[in-house]
Structure 1
Amino acid sequence: MERNDKKLKRAKVRLKELKGFYWHLAAYIGVNSFITISTIIGRMSNGVSFLDVLDFGTFAVWFFWGIGLFFHGIKVFSYNPIFSKEWEERQIQKYIEKDKREAEKYGRNGR
């Protein structure tokens, strides 16, 4: 029963993280769309042509906030090419084997 409680708790934490990411994504799209449309309309009302409006300044917030959103997504979706789950498992096995060798070396039974 205790194991199920831990699983439920982990699932709730995971769901909270996922929900947080989707809210972040929604805010990213909504706020940046508003800023971009406002910038384009404001510049065009001052006589700037549509193509001249489409510069880096118009999309800078998308870009920089997008970097933050990207890393948030990596964290939430547990994508880590350097420290993957397989890497963690190998490290755990390595330490278990080391402890076993140490226990055998000193004549203990690993207890």
Structure 2
Amino acid sequence: MENLEDIKYKRAKEKVKKIRGFYVHLTVFILVNSLLLVNTEIIPRFWNTSIEVKVSWWGIALWALFLAIHGLRVFGVITFLGKDWEERKIQEFMKEEEETYKSNKF
């Protein structure tokens, strides 16, 4: 059986992994959208080209919304279907299983 320190370490490591994932997501969002902005808005105006390439602002807005939700979940603001919910459901199913086993035992 794991001791309390091991459990705390694993939970902290998992939290750090989630935070790192959010920062990677944020970095990719910034880089990709910066390149899109430069290639579709700034360069054509600077060089006076007539290239008609438009950025999908709805796509960027939707991605930004998902990024915000990701951040809110990682930093514990939104807990819907989070770790606490998982733990409660696991305990609930374990209790149901135990009661079923006890009632079917001869």
TM-score calculated relative to the size of structure 1: 0.55
Q: Matched residues, percent identical? A: 21
What is the count of residue pairs matched by the alignment?
97
1:59 aligned partner? 56
| Unpaired runs of at least 5, structure 1 | none
Cα deviations across residues 77-102 of structure 1 (Å, max 9, x unaligned)?
37574x45447625633541452354
Residues 73-88 of structure 1: matches in 2 within 5 Å? Answer: 73=70, 77=74, 81=80, 83=81, 85-86=84-85
CA distance in 1, matches of 2:23, 2:55: 24
Change (3 A) 1:87 1:34: closer
Report if aligned partners of 1:36, 1:59 keep a CA contact under 8 Å in 2: no
What letter is aligned with 2:60?
A: W
> Contact conserved, 2:25 with 2:67, CA < 8 A, in 1?
no
Which structure 2 residues correspond to residues 1-80 of structure 1 after superposition, within 5 A?
2-44=3-45, 45-47=48-50, 57-59=54-56, 62=60, 66=63, 70=67, 73=70, 77=74
Q: Deviations over 1:33-87 (max 9, x none)?
A: 1321221123322157xxxx7x8x31366357x17x549827x637574x45447
Cα distance, 1:70–1:4 mapped onto 2, change above 3 Å: same
Structure 1 or 2, whichever has the larger Rg, is 1
User: Structure 1 residues 93 and 28 mapped into 2: Cα distance closer, same or farther (>3 Å)?
Assistant: same
How far has the Cα of 1:22 moved from its partner? 1.0
Contact residue 32 and residue 62 of structure 1 kept, 8 A:
yes
Supply the AA of the counterpart residue of 1:58. V
CA contact (8 A) 2:26 2:67 kept: no
